[in-house]
Structure 1
Amino acid sequence: MSGPGLRARIRAGETVVGTFIKTPAPHVVEILGLAGLDFAVADQEHAPIGIAEMDMLAMAARASGLPLLSRRWGAGRDWIAPLLDLGCAGVMVPHVADRETAEAVCAAVKFARGSRGISPSPRAGNYGTIGLLDYRRKCDEESVVMVQIEDAPALDRLDEIAACPDLDVLFVGPADLSQSLGVGFPSAELDGAILRVIDAARRAGVAPGLFVGDETQIPLWQERGVTVFVCGSDQGLLMKGARRLMTTRQA
């Protein structure tokens, strides 16, 4: 019997750990699923991953039991529904700096908001074998909404953003946030901004999320209240493993 889904785990306050997918190859997703990751995020913002590649990545994710989200650039939200139709578990949306943007994201994800087009015919609806009402309920209950806090103006609107219904995670993009603030990465000033996001998320009853470069950073931020981590990427994991291999080479 399968356990709780990703959204249920996040909302229960469990610590979940994933990674970014930057390689448009379904085999990578399948391997990470077999490795036992809690989730992964296909990085359409910074990697060459189009809708056709997402189709294959989503298929591999479903086959290996790995919840797959997508992160993609752009001010519009019309990219969200097609990815959810493919079977993605949710979205991570960059540069959400106000309540209006957060509401638009949630409206693009949740059928109950009344504007997302509905059809159970794609993969997410088991190719039409799920009834329309059951499909709508299942999608709205299980789809994860993560919005990225990575702009200085967002810090003064955290409570407004976090109060958006249907929002699951306030996720800090530390590199972009440090750039927007004009501070070092890492730095005490950046840490202070991240703590502000954590506090706002906890006040609103949503999960705080954070990107970390490697797993050694997780315990510290877990102690500070972060429960959703994206750690590195598939490329980083491959690079780290290859470099570790080469340290065993004899001169």
Structure 2
Amino acid sequence: MSGLKARINAGETVIGSFVKTPVPHVVEILGLAGLDFAVPDQEHAPLDLGAMDQLALASRAAGLPLVARCWGAVAGADFAAAGSGLRGVMVPHVADRGTAEAVMAAVKFGRGSRGLSPSPRAGRYGTLAAPDYTAKSDAETVVMLQIEDKEALERLDDIAAVPDIDVLFVGPADLSQSLGCGFPSAELDAAIIRVIAAARRAGVAAGLFVGDESQIAAWRERGVSVFVCGSDQGLLMKGARRIIEAGRA
């Protein structure tokens, strides 16, 4: 099954990584490595609009879908969906249905309030007719809402019930901070399992950040199908440390 959104909605396991370095070569390399997608991290990295545009170009060259983690819920989602050629958005700190609805209004033309122009890259610089552009965008854009606040845990069914959401994605570091528990801890695991259950009830995918690939199998067994594993910085650090440790052994 082709297309990131189609694969996610079919329940396939897809694995990506955060991108924190504002150079397009990283996206090309991750694409050649075989990742299913990558997440440019505007929330925690110096990725401005120009850098995002270059990463989007690289993603097309590498055939690697990009899902941008936005710096702010609604405004960030609006930019990320605005036509640069990204395949979707990951929105931090969605703690209630109202925020989820606002995100969807910013991303989906079908909601009637997203600004319309086929002139950007995603509209083939004006060569794609407006009805075709809006239909294609709404059909292919992935929306991942991050569950990172203890308040969100009491509103999971309301959030997940918003139409066209693809993934309830747990940010475990922020969620543990909000809960006041350890990362990792049994309390955090229980909260993640609550999100997985809510996603299953709503018929959407559950997603999770993991720091290491060794954690994927266990969480896949529990029902997670969308994983973001580490980051480009982490991969570089891990590889460099492995070299120096082996060389000094």
Secondary structure of 2:168 counterpart: strand
Give the corresponding residue for 2:98: 100
Matched AA of 1:81? D
CA distance in 2, matches of 1:4, 1:74: 30
CA distance in 2, matches of 1:18, 1:163: 25
Give the corresponding residue for 1:161: 159
Give the corresponding residue for 2:184: 186
CA distance in 1, matches of 2:90, 2:77: 10
What residue ranges of structure 1 are gaps of 5+ in the alignment?
Answer: none
CA distance in 2, matches of 1:165, 1:225: 21
1:82 to 79, 82, 90: 79
CA distance in 2, matches of 1:246, 1:108: 47
Per-residue CA shift, 1:55-86, capped at 9, x if unaligned?
000000111111001112235x2333332210
Give the corresponding residue for 2:174: 176
Give the corresponding residue for 1:13: 11
CA distance in 1, matches of 2:9, 2:69: 20
Q: Give the superposition deviation at 1:245.
A: 1.4
Per-residue CA shift, 1:143-171, capped at 9, x if unaligned?
00000000001000000000000100000
Secondary structure of 1:248 counterpart: helix
Give the corresponding residue for 1:226: 224
Q: Give the superposition deviation at 1:127.
A: 1.4
1:34 to 5, 27, 32: 32
1:37-76 superposed matches below 5 A? 37-75=35-73
Secondary structure of 2:126 counterpart: coil
1:190-209 superposed matches below 5 A? 190-209=188-207
Matched AA of 1:44? Q
Task: Indicate conservation of the 8 Å contact 2:72/2:91, yes or no.
Answer: no
Give the corresponding residue for 1:148: 146
Secondary structure of 1:97 counterpart: coil
CA distance in 2, matches of 1:129, 1:74: 31
Matched AA of 1:83? A
CA distance in 2, matches of 1:168, 1:235: 27
CA distance in 2, matches of 1:235, 1:79: 23
Matched AA of 2:152? A
Q: Once structures 1 and 2 are overlaid, which stretch shifts more, 77-86 or 50-59?
A: 77-86
Per-residue CA shift, 1:109-131, capped at 9, x if unaligned?
10000001111111111212222
Give the corresponding residue for 1:123: 121
Q: Normalized against structure 2, the TM-score is what?
A: 0.97
Per-residue CA shift, 1:164-203, capped at 9, x if unaligned?
0010000000000000000011000000000000000000
Q: Give the superposition deviation at 1:248.
A: 2.2
What residue ranges of structure 2 are gaps of 5+ in the alignment?
Answer: none
Q: Once structures 1 and 2 are overlaid, which stretch shifts more, 198-207 or 64-73?
A: 64-73
Q: Give the superposition deviation at 1:250.
A: 4.4
Secondary structure of 1:249 counterpart: helix
Per-residue CA shift, 1:27-77, capped at 9, x if unaligned?
0011111111100010000000000100000000111111001112235x2
Q: Once structures 1 and 2 are overlaid, which stretch shifts more, 16-25 or 117-126?
A: 117-126
Secondary structure of 2:144 counterpart: strand
CA RMSD of aligned residues (A): 1.0
Q: Give the superposition deviation at 1:247.
A: 2.3
Paired residues, number: 248
Matched AA of 1:176? D
